[in-house]
Amino acid sequence: MAFTFKDFPAARDDLRSDVLSGLAACPKSIPPKYFYDEAGCRLFEAICAQPEYTLTRTEGALLASSLPDIAAAIGPVDCIVEPGAGECAKVRLLLEALHPAHLVVLDIAGAPLAAAAEGLSRAHPELAVTALGMDFIHDLEAADPYLPAGRRLVYYPGSSIGNFPPGAAVDLLARFRQLAGPAGQLLIGFDLKKDPLRLHRAYNDAAGITAAFNLNLLDRLNRDLGANFNPTCFRHYAFYNPTAGRIEMHLVSLAEQDVTVCGQQFHFALGETLHTENSYKFRRDEFSAIANAAGWQLAAAWEQDGFAIQLHRQSTTGDHPPEPC
């Protein structure tokens, strides 16, 4: 078993500066990467099990049913690289199908990532596993020294690309090209546009798990930044914005109130929101435009129940995108 864990605490977490600048902005916002403290990770796993949130189950079923075709389309790879790997659950099927020599996983939640990656290493003693605890959105290039030579596949599942507005999504996918290397490929999952009521229900589950996940952000700020948010004075509010093509998640202030964070005071008006997440949904042509702008060319595509998995290669003149299977 070859397992390596490298933590990048300084490059991983700019919580203080991001929160202070986000609260001073108009409208107020905080990046969604800060949802994922220990409690947030547990709550997100619970969200994925809710009946209204079908995205994770659909993606898993699509990957499992299409795995022989996906593996054939990818071909031999020496290394799988997964940014935002979390508990390393989704990559397991790919490991069994592709048999790479190396796996490199990145995530902002360093300790849970290390535990999951070490367990994966024990289960696959033939695999060299490297876990990097880092904010890959800002510091992706810091992963370069830990990437082995050879043919790489960047794996970005779960519709995480939907958390980025189109321009930022292009920038991130372009950086993934550098991560993949000249012969590298990208296997990516994303949620398709569908019935707005279905999307609304997915982020407003009856059990209130998504609401607890959203409000847990305030508990984290109280604990890690010495803030004095009263979570009972805020309400989870999520809705699908069809014009922008995205789910928006907010925390709505239920009163006129002042909050202190790191010694600085911020005022919330009654009804004012703290914007905590976007989740963009795509038409095929919309996502193709983003991927092409980043230098990727569609090689193969699979779809099921409003979710898409696509394989992209480095763009070359004259390629023609295939129809989804």
Selection from 66, 73, 71, 62 nearest residue 300 by Cα: 73
Per-residue pLDDT of the chain (325 residues; tens, 9 = 90+): 699 999 987 655 689 999 999 999 999 999 999 998 889 989 999 999 999 999 999 999 999 999 999 999 999 999 999 999 988 999 999 999 999 999 999 998 888 899 999 999 999 999 999 999 998 888 899 999 999 999 999 999 999 999 999 999 999 999 999 999 989 999 999 999 999 999 999 999 999 999 999 999 999 999 999 999 999 999 999 999 999 999 999 999 999 999 999 999 999 999 999 999 999 999 999 999 999 999 999 999 999 999 999 999 997 654 444 555 4
Look at residue 102 and tell me if it is in a domain.
yes
Question: Is position 270 within any domain?
Answer: no
- The CATH number for 75's domain is 3.40.50.150
Max alpha carbon distance in the chain (Å)? 59
Alpha carbons 213 and 216: distance in angstroms, whole number: 5
Q: How far is CA 162 from the centre of its chain?
A: 8
Q: In this structure, is residue 234 part of a structural domain? A: no
Determine, yes or no, domain membership for 185.
yes
Range of the domain at 119: 52-194+282-314
Q: Spell out a b/e string for 57-89, using b for 16 or more CB atoms within 10 Å of the CB, else e.
A: ebbbebbeebbeebbebbeebebbbbbbbbbbe
pLDDT for 321 equals: 47
Is residue 62, in this structure, part of any structural domain at all? yes
The three state secondary structure string of the chain is CEEEEEECHHHHCCHHHHHHHHHHCCCEECCHHHHCCHHHHHHHHHHHCCCCCCHHHHHHHHHHHHHHHHHHHHCCCCEEEEECCCCCCCHHHHHHHHCCCEEEEEECCHHHHHHHHHHHHHHCCCCEEEEEECCHHHHHHHHHHHCCCCCEEEEECCCHHHHCCHHHHHHHHHHHHHHHCCCCEEEEEEEECCCHHHHHHHCCCCCCHHHHHHHHHHHHHHHHHCCCCCHHHEEEEEEEECCCCEEEEEEEECCCEEEEECCEEEEECCCCEEEEEEEECECHHHHHHHHHHCCEEEEEEEEECCEEEEEEEECCCCCCCCCCC
Please list the residues that pair with 188 across neighbouring strands.
156, 310
How confident is the model at residue 123, as a pLDDT?
93
Is 1 among the domain residues? no
The residue behind tokens 């990046």 is: 31
In whole angstroms, what is the distance from residue 111 CA to residue 200 CA?
Answer: 32
260 lies in some domain: no
Report the distance separating Cα 277 and Cα 159, nearest Å.
13
**Alpha-carbon distances, residue 216 vs 25, 33, 51, 212, 236 (angstroms):** 21, 13, 21, 6, 10
Residue 2 counted as domain residue: no
Query: Do 190 and 287 contact (CB within 8 A), yes or no?
Result: yes
Domain count, the chain: 1
* pTM for the predicted model, two decimal places: 0.92
Dist CA 260 CA 35 (whole Å)? 20
